[in-house]
Amino acid sequence: EDKVVQSPLSLVVHEGDTVTLNCSYEVTNFRSLLWYKQEKKAPTFLFMLTSSGIEKKSGRLSSILDKKELFSILNITATQTGDSAVYLCAVKNNQGGKLIFGQGTELSVKP
């Protein structure tokens, strides 16, 4: 059965800290891995990764995929209170393009 596992499940840091969120997966016919940020509403798209070793970057956020070891990390540098949210990792397989989500990492950034 396809599975996506995120760690840690929750994390509390202070403003200015750097955090690394982990996502590992076991999926048949992998196509892509996506990161979303959810703040008590709809998940907001962050990154989509399809190739190993190519870092995607957007401001203080960056992500990379390792298709050999079947994992991805999401880095957030110089965290701000506005980064507080649940970060969801999802994997898309060949079966119709549905997303298989991990449990999410709840990040809390304290002032």
Partner 1 sequence: AAGVIQSPRHLIKEKRETATLKCYPIPRHDTVYWYQQGPGQDPQFLISFYEKMQSDKGSIPDRFSAQQFSDYHSELNMSSLELGDSALYFCASSLRRLAGEHEQYFGPGTRLTVT
Give the other-Cβ count within 10 Å of 2's Cβ: 14
Among 36, 70, 67, residue whose Cα is nearest residue 54: 67
Residue 22: CB minimum distance to partner 1, A? 15
Among 21, 34, 25, residue whose Cα is nearest residue 107: 21
- Total residues at interface with partner 1 (CB under 8 A): 23
Residue 104 near partner 1 by CB under 8 A: yes
Distance CA 103, CA 107 (A): 13
Residue 92 near partner 1 by CB under 8 A: yes
Q: Which stretch binds partner 1 (CB under 8 A): 17-25, 54-62, 76-84, 95-103?
A: 95-103
Rg (alpha carbons) of the chain, rounded to whole number:
13
Interaction pattern, residues 35-64, with partner 1; x per rule: CB under 8 A: -x----xxxxx--x-x--------------
Residues that bind partner 1 (CB under 8 A): 31-32, 34, 36, 41-45, 48, 50, 88, 92, 95-104
